[in-house]
Amino acid sequence: MCGIIGYTGYSDARGKLIKGLKVLEYRGYDSAGIAVKTNGQDEIIKCKGRVEKLEKITESITNSTTGIGHTRWATHGEVSDTNSHPHKFGKVTLVHNGIIENYKSHVRKYSLEGKLQSQTDSEVAAAVIDSCYDTDPISAIYNAVKEFKGTFAFAVMFDDIKDKIFAIRNVSPIVICRNNDGAYIASDILAIGEYSKEYFVLPEMSVAVLEKSKVEVFNTSGEKIEPEMMPYDWSNNDSGKGGYPFFMEKEIMEQPDVIQKTVAGRIKDGFVDFSSDNIDDSLFENIDNISIIACGTAMHAGLIGKGLIEANIRIPCEVHYASEFMYKSPIINKNTLVICVSQSGETIDTLEALKYAKRQGAKSLSIVNVRGSSIARESDSVIYTWAGPEIAVASTKAYTTQVCIFFLITARLAQINGTMSKNEISSFIEQIELLPDAVKYVLDSREKLHHLANSMLSAEHVFMIGRGQDYYALMEASLKLKEISYIHCEAFASGELKHGTIALITEGTPVVALMTQEKLKLKQISNITEVKSRGAKVITLIKKSLNDGSLECSFELPDLADDFMVVPSVVAMQLLAYYVSSDKGLDVDKPRNLAKVVTVE
């Protein structure tokens, strides 16, 4: 949460900061600000609202080549100009991502009562660094942060130090790169990736010093260290809107391609092969149980993974909300494979749960989109999705590619454990290879979904019903609709509806019913009929081969084997949610109260 950017070099800093903040805005968009060095002073301009507003009010700053910037997702203190970053105390100006849990004790210890402008923990951090500062900025930063409890990433400038930016982090990410024009720092490589083909992740509790012509990193003993450089391989074009009005639409439309990229390199001679991920079969051997850990959409992908693994491999598999995992004494040991799923690779709940699982001796594998992210680095093994940058807050292509990785894992486990014959594995893989075309079919029929979306525009509540894997797919569809259209929506296992919730169905209540699972068809028809006879306005999405006229079909889904229907089904429902939100005139990419990367617990 919150985006950090910084630049020191030979060009206009304000332009680079604003450009970076526009990219980072998806991390939080409550307020934005920059601090630039002009004639030796640190000048701060910040405001409640979007980066666009900040861009206008900073137009006059043309004479600075060093600065830091921030886009905020409020944690401590209301959304206001004053609580926006950067914060300045004494000689210290900083931007902060994360939470200083014990900041109140520092207010007392450093006698800061009545001296602070804002209600933020970040301003307290600036004050503590300032108190520790005499002439040595690196020691001041170390001495201050060793008193902080919590997660943080700071970019810091000192009034009396020309053209230098200092940075330190604990858990919250910071990436750094440089080129002939200067040095760049950000909370997310997307913001600075265009400036260099390589970058590094600042090691935890090391201080980086950015100067115009060099970047140095020092460990806690003050020794200079060489951080590991990583390639940046996402093209800059990947992060534009590509002519679409919203990133979400662009990202939905990219799914055939990114699914293809995600699976193609991992299928060799008709079998799944993870050697390009440096994963050998020992990771999957001697496993008694699997625990999948994730949040939100990634957790929904995990539910699909559970269904696939339990049905096809017969290994018990639990799915956990990352935020609950370690507090419920999970039963894991050295024969547990923990699979963490995360688009950003930075979700703090997932990261902390992963660390906990490793401490209990579990083996770990992560399914991650962002290369070099914290979760990727913390796991024993990583399988990257090839979704490319996902900017819209509502996750779409990350989900479908995560589900595809679960298809691949299932096929590999089946081969290792002998739970499927060679022919069965071949047919399973053929289905994986059919996915891009199945998704294309849905995308090509999107106008029908647009039309269906009309019937939900004025709804206050929508219910979604399905059985088996369809129920898990609907959990994701329901999250999509809620988060971008602000319509209350709940997904139910169809059979469960009559144990209470059916009381909420009245004349005209929209109910989305998904029917793709052959063995559950007759039961699902009965459940759909039950809600219809209570007045529900039912929108049915039915797999082609099950569409035999027994029900009115609102949208026909292409035929795949049941296990694979989740992908075209969810893509159809992503579009449904997208059209509801865009036709309501909402900010599809930046729904209220949300942020793309959730780095607070």
Active site residues: 2, 596
Token duo for residue 330: 């999970």
- Does 339 engage in binding with ligand M6R (CB under 6 A)? no
Residue 94 or 571 with smaller CB distance to ligand M6R:
571
d(CA 336, CA 382): 16
| Binding piece for ligand M6R, criterion CB under 6 A, among 208-216, 226-234, 337-345, 460-468 | 337-345
CA distance 210 to 7: 8
Select the residue interacting with ligand M6R from 93, 350, 364, 469 (CB under 6 A).
350
Residue found by looking up tokens 């144990």 in the block: 499
User: What span, in angstroms and rounded, lies between the C-alpha atoms of 438 and 432?
Assistant: 10
CB of 486 to ligand M6R, least distance (A): 14
Q: Which two tokens stand for residue 150?
A: 């919590």
Residue of closest CB approach to ligand M6R: 296
Q: How far is CA 56 from the centre of its chain?
A: 29
Quickly count: other Cβ atoms within 10 Å of residue 486's Cβ: 16
**DSSP H helical segments within 468-511, as ranges?**
469-485
By the rule CB under 6 A, 312 interacts with ligand M6R: no
- Per CB under 6 A, the list member of 131, 312, 342, 379 interacting with ligand M6R is 342
User: Does 343 participate in binding ligand M6R (rule CB under 6 A)?
Assistant: yes
Of the residues 3, 137, 296, 568, which one makes contact with ligand M6R according to CB under 6 A:
296
Query: Cβ of residue 26: shortest distance to ligand M6R, in angstroms?
Result: 10
CA atoms of 252 and 254, how far apart (whole Å) = 5
Angstrom CA distances, 484 to 410, 439, 451, 460, stand at: 32, 22, 18, 14
| Part in contact with ligand M6R (CB under 6 A); list of ranges 140-148, 278-286, 293-301, 415-423 | 293-301
Token pair 């090839």 is found at 386
Nearest CA-CA partner of 600 in 322, 366, 201: 322
Contact call for residue 394 and ligand M6R (CB under 6 A): yes
Does 97 help bind ligand M6R (rule: CB under 6 A)? no
Q: Would you give the binding string for ligand M6R spanning residues 242-281, x where CB under 6 A is met?
A: ----------------------------------------
Considering only 483, 556, 562, 563, the residue that binds ligand M6R (CB under 6 A) is 483
Q: Is 253 helix (H, G, I), strand (E, B) or coil?
A: helix
Across 415-443, b (16+ Cβ under 10 Å) vs e yields beeebbeeeebeebbebbebbbebbbbbb
> By CB under 6 A, how many residues form the interface with ligand M6R?
15
Chain centroid to Cα 570, Å, comes to 18
58 binds ligand M6R (CB under 6 A): no
Give the residue with the Cβ less far from ligand M6R, 174 or 577. Answer: 577
- Angstrom distance (rounded) from CA 145 to CA 136: 15
Contacts of 84 (CB under 8 A, 6+ apart): 30, 31, 32, 33, 46, 47, 48, 70, 72
Residue among 128, 176, 497, 598 that touches ligand M6R (CB under 6 A): 598
Part in contact with ligand M6R (CB under 6 A); list of ranges 254-262, 275-283, 289-297, 416-424: 289-297
Q: Which is nearer to ligand M6R, 133 or 386 (CB)?
A: 386
Instruction: List the interface residues with ligand M6R, window 534-553 (CB under 6 A).
Output: none
CB-nearer residue toward ligand M6R: 300 or 440: 300
Nearer to ligand M6R, 68 or 370 (CB): 370
By DSSP bridging, strand 267-268 and strand 198-201 are: unpaired
Residue 446 CB contacts under 8 Å (≥ 6 apart), including other chains? 575
Q: Which is nearer to ligand M6R, 393 or 477 (CB)?
A: 393
Q: Does 393 participate in binding ligand M6R (rule CB under 6 A)?
A: yes
Q: Which residues contact 255 (CB under 8 A, 6 or more apart)?
A: 396, 397, 400, 436, 439, 443, 571
Segment near ligand M6R (CB under 6 A); pick from 22-30, 194-202, 339-347, 420-428:
339-347
Instruction: Please pick, from the candidates 1, 298, 420, 580, the single residue that binds ligand M6R as defined by CB under 6 A.
Output: 298
Stretch that binds ligand M6R, among 331-339, 388-396, 408-416, 522-530 (CB under 6 A): 388-396
Nearer to ligand M6R, 120 or 297 (CB): 297
Query: Which residue from 8, 262, 395, 478 is in contact with ligand M6R, where contact means CB under 6 A?
Result: 395
Residues lying near ligand M6R in the complex (CB under 6 A): 295-298, 342-344, 347, 350, 393-395, 479, 483, 598
